[in-house]
Every structure is written in structure tokens, then in C-alpha cells.
Amino acid sequence: MSEKFARRIPLLAAIAFFLISACGGGGPQITLSGDQDQPDITITDPYLANPLTVISSDQGILYYETESGKQWVSGAPASSRQTGSTFFAEWQHNGRRVRIEIHEEPGRIQGFGGRQYAMSFTAEPDDGIIGWGFALDATQDEYFTGLFERTVDGDQDNSWAEGITEAMNLRGQSVDMIIKPTLGLYNPFYISSRGYGLFTRGTWPGHYDFANAREDRVQISFEGPSFRSMLYTAPEPASLVKAHALEAGPTIVPPKWAFHHWYWRNNHYNRDTYYDGTPVNAPYNSMLVEDILMMQALDVPCSVYWVDRPWATGPFGYDDFEWDRERLPNP
């Protein structure tokens, strides 16, 4: 080796290190880990703060549920393949072949700046299977957010309860993934401060336990004959959200009127007089008429006037899609 070339080695090594770091470090690895009788599955990815593990419990690595209850799958798999970012394992269990598959899908989602993995739990035959459950390990300072738009699961009044301490961090909470009469939207996608996001594919009801029952794990269960999800890793939370948006389908740009001024009235009563005592002669709801006239008089632009419930009959004000003609005459 020439002396001139030898002097260049530190520089070349530094350049190589920079290029590897800029590309997210070394390649991901998915491997069986832990005890052979109770194995875990560990995902090592450059974007994760530390490896993420599908962690076993005392009963097994995961379970499928039948009418007889939870059927835990444990012990070493009958067969497995581990090649870089591709993992497959199969167990012979109660006359079924139970499979776990996790593999990277490069290029599936373009432009979000991270990695994505397809993860599935299936069985053959799958007749009689009504649900699946597993757990991901959780570190002590890990932060979780997502799933719904409020601070706690359930009725929105729970978000305003006296003495409440919850914020956007779901750690310590349990969440049912099913639409409830809560005025909140639900979506089976959450992100972790550790550098990953998990999106459960499908429409079956489910349940999440974020280090509540056991502080060292996130426990997830979903109904259905199989479980399929997408696991995203990225250097910052915004990229995880972007990955999910691109996976689920990005939104279209709304029409121009949607960007103009909106006026929203939640409670509306058809009174005999306006606020200044002037008698109402309009044949419509007096509060709505007054809102429109005042905006016109004060030169307040309005593109959308939103009449929220209660606008219909029924205890919730929209139950039967029949106008409440006392509240809103001549609809």
C-alpha cells in the first residue's frame, strides 16, 4: 500500500460513515431472540431509538382466539426464515399452521423518508378464529399518541372531567378501537416517540393497552380471522404521519369555498324577537336569520353557514333525519 493511499484511508472511512448515516445507517434486521422456549421477534432498524420487539408473555408469543378462548402459540417455531429485513416463522398448533410474517416493502410508499414493513398473523385453516392478540415492548420513557382526536377514550365529557391529568400521551391508557357516540373520530394508527408508527389494516374492532396492564409493553388485540398491519419507521414523527396518510390515501385539495370564512351555530332557537327586541317576521329560524343579517350588516364575509345538531327530531337531534320544524321552520 502506498503512503499516499494510506493517508487517505481515514478520510475515506469518514466519507463512508457519513454516507451510511445519511441513508439511515445499516440495513434493518428481523430476528428471533430471547429464550428458545419463549422466543421474541426483534426488529432492528436505524430509525428506531432502540430495537422493537414482538415480546412474549408467560403464555406465548401471540394468541389467536376461538369460542374456547385464547389459544397461545409458544415454543420454537417448526420452521423459520430470517434474511435481513424479511422474517417468516410457522408453528404447528392444534391442527393449524400459525404463521408470522414481517418483511420490508421498499418503495411501497414513496417520499416519506423512512421504511415500511408489512406484518401479518395468519393460520391455516382459519375457520373458527375470531381474533388475534400480541404485544410490543415499551421503554420506560416511551410516548404514544394517535388513535382518536381526544385526550381520553370514550365520551367527550371524559376529556373535561375535573382533575383530569391526561394529555396527548396515551401511555397508561386503554383504548377500544370502535366507533362510539363520542363526537371523536377513531383510526387504528398510532405513533411512538421511539421512532415507529403502527397502522392496523381492516375494519374489525380492536383494543390497545399502552403500558397500562403491564408497563413494559403495548398490548394489541383485534377481532377477525387474521391480523395485518403496516409498521413505519422514520427519523421524525411528521414522516410517520406522512407515511400513514400516503398509505391510507392522501386527501384532495378542497374547493375554494372551503378556505373562506365559516360560521358555525351549535344551538339554535326560533325566538319571537331578535337580540334588540325587534319582532321576527322571517318565516325561518330567527337565530340563523339574525346571524346572516348581522354578518351582512357588519361586512363579515361568509362562505359556509354550518347548522349543527340539534336540527332534527330525536334525543340527539339528528337520529331520524327528520327536521325539527319547531326549532327550524320551513327548512
Report the chain's mean pLDDT, rounded to a whole number.
Answer: 88
Helix (H) or strand (E) holding 236: none
Q: Tell me what the mean pLDDT of segment 94-112 comes to.
A: 91
Instruction: Please report which confidence band the pLDDT of residue 282 belongs to, taking 50, 70 and 90 as the band edges.
Output: very high
pLDDT, residue 155, reads 80
Instruction: Please report which confidence band the pLDDT of residue 272 belongs to, taking 50, 70 and 90 as the band edges.
Output: very high
Q: Tell me what the mean pLDDT of segment 14-28 comes to.
A: 45
Instruction: Please report which confidence band the pLDDT of residue 52 belongs to, taking 50, 70 and 90 as the band edges.
Output: very high
Instruction: Please report which confidence band the pLDDT of residue 251 belongs to, taking 50, 70 and 90 as the band edges.
Output: confident
Measure the CA dihedral 238/240/241/247, to 10°.
Answer: 140
pLDDT, residue 115, reads 94
Q: Which residue has the higher pLDDT, 309 or 234?
A: 234
Q: Model pTM? A: 0.76
Does residue 12 have a pLDDT over 70? no
Convert the pLDDT of each residue in 150-183 to its tens digit. 888 888 788 888 988 888 899 999 999 988 776 6
Q: Tell me what the mean pLDDT of segment 268-293 comes to.
A: 94
In a 3-state reduction of DSSP, which class is residue 104?
strand
Q: Tell me what the mean pLDDT of segment 35-47 comes to.
A: 90
Strand pairing class (52-54; 39-44): antiparallel
Rounded-to-integer distance, Cα 248 and Cα 202, Å:
11
pLDDT, residue 182, reads 66
pLDDT, residue 7, reads 45
Residue 13: partners with Cβ closer than 8 Å, 6 or more residues away: none
Convert the pLDDT of each residue in 193-244 to its tens digit. 999 999 999 999 999 999 999 999 999 999 999 999 999 999 999 999 999 9
Rounded-to-integer distance, Cα 236 and Cα 216, Å:
23
Give which of 141, 225, 148 is closest to 184, Cα–Cα.
148
Q: Specify which of 87-96, 99-108, 143-152 reaches the highest per-range mean pLDDT.
A: 87-96
Rounded-to-integer distance, Cα 164 and Cα 150, Å:
13
Convert the pLDDT of each residue in 70-83 to its tens digit. 999 999 999 999 99
Instruction: Please report which confidence band the pLDDT of residue 270 belongs to, taking 50, 70 and 90 as the band edges.
Output: very high
Q: Tell me what the mean pLDDT of segment 287-292 comes to.
A: 95
Buried b (16+ CB within 10 A) or exposed e, 248-264: eeeeeeeeeeeeeeebe
